[in-house]
Amino acid sequence: MMAVAIALALLAAKRLRRPLPSAAAPGAAQSSATAGSAAVGSPQDAATDPPRSAAPAEPPPVAPFNHRRHWAILEGVKDAHEFLLQIFRQLLREGSGAGAICRGEMCHMVDNRGHLMFSALLRRSEPLELLAMYPYAESPHVWPLVLERVEESGDGLEARLIGSCQGVAVSFYDTLYLKNRDAYSCGETYELQASAIAYQLEPDELGEEFAPDFVGFGPLSLFSPDTAAAPDEIVFHSYIEEARELTFWGVPLRVYVIPLARPERDKEPLRVEVYVHDEIAERPFAVGERVRGVLWLFAMWPAPRPAFAVPAEPSAQPN
């Protein structure tokens, strides 16, 4: 089974053509499950288990929280950073409808428009300090994450949640970490609303040895020389279950619902909504078509509610 997953990655490594921003093109995903099979861990699982007396491995260095990569949905915008600053300035105006939750001097602001949204981390100081801007979404697709560890940014304001869902290893960027950071406990299960931004998307071709509904994914870092690859960035094989269009502040996007893993054949697969700009996709895709590519996974844990009960207060402009 592991040989099949590795062979799939090598197969896609020869075929993927569109490079990542600031990185070479990745290989493809490992299998999470094939027809009638149980879930598969990472290719590292194929190695011999260490002796029981071996010291526990140190966690890897924290990968950068590179939100420039996460705004791949703005690929066609001439100056994406200025575009985001314009959104931010609009949300600071009275009556914008933006919401925020604050913890001391720190605030997380969201535009509250539904679907894919703009969000920002702020420090309430004079002048107002804009710390980060990143996508935020609410999703009907829930992943029950058994939390193994939290990977924090150096300032402790952002984090990835690393763990497993139904035996499948996975990592998500936590868009509500400022709100929830003190509520997490390793070993507990959290019902995360999962979404994804596509870095690249193209048609998938599988050999005859794979089932037509084969799905799988694995860490980008395992299949790419990109030294900035983070645990929440993955390569995958899947197919389109739903397709629709929407706009993000005037930017046209496509939204595809895809299954990423099927740990148990008799249960529903683990799905995500993928937001895609046409500039990074080889072409538009229809329901039923197979696809592969690279995704950034992000999620939010909505409990305990409400997430945004405090109205946005900042009035100064960012630095």
Q: pLDDT (tens digit, 0 to 9) for every residue of the chain, 319 residues total? A: 333 333 334 334 333 333 333 333 333 333 333 333 333 333 333 333 444 445 556 767 889 899 999 999 999 899 999 999 999 999 999 889 999 999 999 999 999 888 899 999 999 988 889 999 999 999 999 999 999 999 999 999 999 999 999 999 999 999 999 999 999 999 999 999 999 999 999 999 988 889 889 999 999 999 888 888 999 999 999 999 999 999 999 999 999 999 999 988 888 999 999 999 999 999 999 999 999 999 999 999 986 554 444 344 443 333 3
The predicted pLDDT at position 56 comes to 59
Phi, psi for residue 66 in degrees, rounded to 5: -95, 90
The answer as to whether 46 is a domain residue is: no
2 and 43 Cβ atoms separated by less than 8 Å: yes
The predicted pLDDT at position 34 comes to 31
Amino acid (1-letter code) at residue 253: L
- Nearest CA among 210, 196, 225, 193 for reference residue 293: 196
Residue 21 has what DSSP assignment?
T
Number of domains, the chain: 1
- Nearest CA among 119, 18, 137 for reference residue 75: 18
Token pair 């009638």 in the structure block, residue? 36
- The range of the structural domain enclosing residue 225 comes to 1-40+62-303
The answer as to whether 222 is a domain residue is: yes
The answer as to whether 258 is a domain residue is: yes
The answer as to whether 109 is a domain residue is: yes
CA 60, 62, 66, 71 dihedral sign is positive
Cα dist from 201 to 72, 128, 154, 278, whole Å = 12, 38, 32, 9
What are the tokens at 100?
């925020």
The predicted pLDDT at position 62 comes to 87
**Pair type for strands 270-276 and 189-203:** parallel
User: What does the CA dihedral 234, 213, 145, 4 come to, rounded to 10 degrees?
Assistant: -60
Q: How many CA atoms lie within 13 A of 37 on its CB side?
A: 20
Q: What share of the chain is helix, strand, coil (3-state, %, to 5)?
A: 15, 35, 50
Cα dist from 93 to 97, 125, 316, whole Å = 9, 17, 10
Task: Tell me whether residue 105 is exposed, middle or buried, using C-beta atoms within 10 angstroms of its C-beta: 0 to 12, 13 to 18, 19 or more.
Answer: exposed
The answer as to whether 104 is a domain residue is: yes
The predicted pLDDT at position 59 comes to 67
The answer as to whether 54 is a domain residue is: no
The predicted pLDDT at position 231 comes to 96
pLDDT, one tens digit per residue, over 271-303 is: 999 999 999 999 999 999 999 999 999 999 986
Task: Tell me whether residue 64 is exposed, middle or buried, using C-beta atoms within 10 angstroms of its C-beta: 0 to 12, 13 to 18, 19 or more.
Answer: middle
Q: How many CA atoms lie within 13 A of 138 on its CB side?
A: 10
Length of the chain: 319
Supply the pTM of this predicted model: 0.79
Cα dist from 95 to 87, 91, 317, 318, whole Å = 14, 8, 16, 19
